[in-house]
Structure 1
């Protein structure tokens, strides 16, 4: 018994006496009673030995009962002690775990807190005390209203309620103005559950550095945008200020060249015109590069004639080649498809640049454009354009630089060849936009081959008769621009005769021409435009301001308005808007053509968005003006189709024109359907591409009205303005084009041969 008590007391000594004495006190009292009874039992045993054996049995029974009672009490006490020992051990582990958790929370670099449903703070770490600038006693068991500003507390209640009601993480940005400098923090809170109760766990993250970096980035972006706007504005102003006098120089030079002058005067004026053209090319290079860098160029896919593309390029470069005594030629194998789908405008721009460079860096010999077929994939053929020259060549160590912007082989002050260093950079970017590649192979002193390959889509149009390769003419031989000999050779000789479209325009002008209201404030350009218009047989009324345009246009006496954009008082865009607003109430529609020196990216779209029907960029030559005004001849029903001009662009190939017409009758409705689906879906990029492709096909047939309406729709899309009106006007115009094409196909080649009525 003593040993059991000793072990019990020893076990109790290992426990917290104060905690366990209260729990074991009843058991200890019972143990003391048992010890007293045990002492009495030992005394009684001595007397019982002397008693009768008969009585021994009764005494044994009584002793056994008490012994059993003591053993049971010992077992019960031992079990209770084991339970209490286990409970005490568990409480200690819990206390150890809690202490560890507190240490971990205090070591975390972010403030953390735990609140109950009433908003009382139950737990938090030392970092939270630092952030709130309050002690633990000021926070524990209190709510946010007890130690925060009313404004902060009100915002906290709103965010807490949002987290309680939604069960989702709620995160907000806050500024802690009590710090110096103020801290920007991200406060997050979320409801958690434990032991059947709900709590709100929250934490702060210091985002001051991130916000400062974001502010710096935003400032940098705004500065870059401001710089970009300043650059664009500068380029626009530069373009306008250069093109305005250049319009006068080139226009007047062209007029004098058409007059009766001697050979020396003609040669001198030809040099003047060439110099002016070179200056204008520099301006165009800068503007083109700006457009490409700004991502404001669209790539279209329309059917075009590859051979005609090459021919147009060589014709455009023929004067420069003749001045240097060079021969131009093209080599197009018979297996190269003639009609493909792609962007002929961008291809022509690249080809013109490469041929122009080849002429500039070639002192003697020839420049040849070669076409070949590369890889075939996904219904497309990779067409390889190669421009071969016999010029000075490019050193190998410079070849990787020449496609970079502003880079030149020779950038010294003693260089022999000028230029902006943008031409090849523009070519590279345009080729990349067309999913192609460009490269150069060159040997100094022997010449260079600049080649680019672009994937073009097959059209299904039957290829014309095989074309023989075109030979290179030696300098001194004449120019042959016949459309029937199957080849194109450009050497020295006379310039080509006016196009059939130009002759038709002259004929139409001779029959009375148009009543033109000319809005132009520059005296030189006034004189030039009046001279050109009167020479074409048109009657001109001249005004020099937007207000004067409004006053004269209200009389309804003119067939067309040529509108300068930049004018004092009321500019051309504002004047056009007021005219269109007046027409919407009173009826009628007078065609308005922008004739402006503003030729930056988006200028054309802004003119069309304002309500103009067409756009001419200065300097304007007489051929451009003829072709533009031809569209608005009253006796031609606004020229639904300029199929004679289209025929001229195809070298007189009437069968090919009929095949293209049949192709568009099949593809046109599909293009319109694709456009309608994109518009209905609100897909602006897809809509823009679709209308761009549609417009590109319409241009092939000279469908002036439909092209103008397509451009108005494109302008509305670019400006993010309502497009429904423009689309509604374009649809019936397309139907008229389909009808005209059907009539053209029904009339056949014989109808095309008939003289214009």
Structure 2
């Protein structure tokens, strides 16, 4: 019997000694009553028995020992097991972090007479976590820097691009020979391609950073599809492709969905099909998916070059291309399908691809929608300025020249805008700063103010607020913001400041003409 107890005691000691971590037990004065071999080795003791009667003050600097002892007292006062992190410095002057589990020891009467502790060295883990946090912060900073760079690049490029496109349009009226006109058209075409490229890169940045807004509205799917087909029909005709449109008769007249996302999904898929199809046909089919309910099924099929099966996943990655840009086979930067996938996912939908090289591709999107029209009407009611209809405001001016003030600190943009508006037969004055605007308004009233936002002295939004404060009852100049910032929230900021709407750079003469026509202000020829 004694031999068995001796064996059990030795086995228990062996188990304790080789437990992972440091085990120890103390009395209610935080004096060690024993420990395992790991703890003894850490304290550089000859044997675990040498720890008996010592305290943490014998092994750690005072400021660390005080905290460990206080943790012991807290465990014994609480009479409950606690798990906590403890930091100490050993004789090698290296700081270590331990995850400690401490359990109060009680006698049969319930009196606390000490505690049992098990501490695991988690220093490496904490250092790895810290390294990951730093890496994450750096990655986030790099991502923010990238996004900021893209936004700045887009903004800074739009202003000179607006000048290039505008000057080319003005120049086209002065060039008489056919060769010169052709060259001007090349400038315009290149400028517009660059504008589209800027839009794609900026939209990629917003999608990549989850900044893309998703607001549901009541959408007439047939009208939306008709608008898209009208937009791409010239490109289809130019490549002599056949086009088939199949809109299922069972589609509801109206659905509740993010119009912008649905529009871009269909437009990008069609543009992708046109770009990679040299002959044959393109089919667009829109119907209700059999499952789940209230789910739109959009299918775009082409007879183009097709996609290798090992590229099915790659084509949805940003900036991915089946052929490098330097080969010059197809235009684009490789963002179209990436954005389609993002838009579909933002709508909580799914996208599938079938393709065979040399025979074409089929892209299928399943996009959920709602029929809860009341919720959308309630949302729009909360934001009455979300849709601007300013035509009634200037109905009195439809038969006369308008007095228009163009405000822009960029000399070329200011000159281009002035010439465009004068070509539309309006009286135009210019200002290069917010202060100049306010000085002019003390001497003159204007029907229409085109207000650049990034002015050198006073922000365009602040100028607008001051203009509104100067207006008397019955006075209201239409103020249109001119900005290279193309974000919806930026437009809302301008509207909140008192602007009536916003025109994004680069703009063309057609943009001004459409704007004035929308408000019944352009002069009849």
TM range, smaller chain: 0.7 to 0.9
Q: Please give the per-residue CA displacement for 1:79-102, whole angstroms capped at 9, x wherever unaligned.
A: xxxxxxxxxx78x87666555433
* Structure 1 unaligned regions, length at least 5: 1-88, 462-500, 637-757
- The equivalences for 1:540-689 within 5 A come to 542-545=430-433, 562-568=450-456, 570=457, 572=459, 576=461, 594-599=481-486, 614-622=501-509, 624-625=511-512
- Which residue is 1:190 aligned to? 103
TM superposition shift of 1:138 = 6.9
Distance 2:90 2:446 in 1: 68
Contact 1:339 1:459 in 2 (8 A): no
Q: Is 1:430 aligned to residue 343 of structure 2?
A: yes
Q: CA 1:265–1:502 in 2, change beyond 3 Å: closer, same or farther?
A: farther
**Does the residue aligned with 2:369 lie in a helix, a strand or coil?**
strand
- Which residue is 2:68 aligned to? 156
Q: CA 1:144–1:622 in 2, change beyond 3 Å: closer, same or farther?
A: same
**Does the residue aligned with 1:408 lie in a helix, a strand or coil?**
coil
- Which residue is 1:338 aligned to? 253
Distance 1:554 1:190 in 2: 80
Contact 2:228 2:267 in 1 (8 A): yes
TM superposition shift of 1:598 = 3.0
Q: Is 1:304 aligned to residue 191 of structure 2?
A: no
Contact 1:247 1:618 in 2 (8 A): yes
Q: Please give the per-residue CA displacement for 1:202-242, whole angstroms capped at 9, x wherever unaligned.
A: 23211121012112211221221122122112211221232
Contact 1:402 1:424 in 2 (8 A): yes
Distance 2:34 2:480 in 1: 76
Q: CA 1:451–1:152 in 2, change beyond 3 Å: closer, same or farther?
A: closer
- Which residue is 1:223 aligned to? 138
**Does the residue aligned with 1:185 lie in a helix, a strand or coil?**
strand
- The equivalences for 1:268-667 within 5 A come to 268-324=183-239, 330-363=245-278, 367-378=282-293, 380-386=294-300, 388-389=301-302, 392-394=304-306, 396-397=308-309, 400=312, 401-411=314-324, 413-441=326-354, 448-458=361-371, 510-511=398-399, 518-533=406-421, 542-545=430-433, 562-568=450-456, 570=457, 572=459, 576=461, 594-599=481-486, 614-622=501-509, 624-625=511-512
Q: Please give the per-residue CA displacement for 1:649-680, whole angstroms capped at 9, x wherever unaligned.
A: xxxxxxxxxxxxxxxxxxxxxxxxxxxxxxxx
Q: CA 1:376–1:623 in 2, change beyond 3 Å: closer, same or farther?
A: farther
Q: CA 1:418–1:165 in 2, change beyond 3 Å: closer, same or farther?
A: same
Contact 1:183 1:208 in 2 (8 A): yes
TM superposition shift of 1:534 = 5.0
- The equivalences for 1:11-26 within 5 A come to none
Contact 2:268 2:337 in 1 (8 A): yes
TM superposition shift of 1:590 = 8.9
TM superposition shift of 1:151 = 0.8
Give the structure with the larger strand fraction.
2
Distance 1:302 1:403 in 2: 27
Contact 2:464 2:499 in 1 (8 A): no
Q: Is 1:110 aligned to residue 21 of structure 2?
A: yes
Distance 1:101 1:552 in 2: 94
Q: CA 1:625–1:156 in 2, change beyond 3 Å: closer, same or farther?
A: farther
Contact 2:89 2:95 in 1 (8 A): yes
**Does the residue aligned with 2:157 lie in a helix, a strand or coil?**
helix
Give the structure with the larger helix fraction.
1
Bigger relative contact order, structure 1 or 2, given CA contacts below 8 A and separation 6+? 2
Q: CA 1:533–1:368 in 2, change beyond 3 Å: closer, same or farther?
A: farther
Q: Please give the per-residue CA displacement for 1:403-422, whole angstroms capped at 9, x wherever unaligned.
A: 33333333374443222122
- Which residue is 1:250 aligned to? 165
Contact 1:115 1:201 in 2 (8 A): yes
**Does the residue aligned with 1:370 lie in a helix, a strand or coil?**
strand
**Does the residue aligned with 1:226 lie in a helix, a strand or coil?**
helix
TM-score (norm 1): 0.56
Q: Please give the per-residue CA displacement for 1:254-279, whole angstroms capped at 9, x wherever unaligned.
A: 45668997877665544433332222
Contact 1:512 1:537 in 2 (8 A): no
Question: Aligned pairs, how many?
Answer: 500
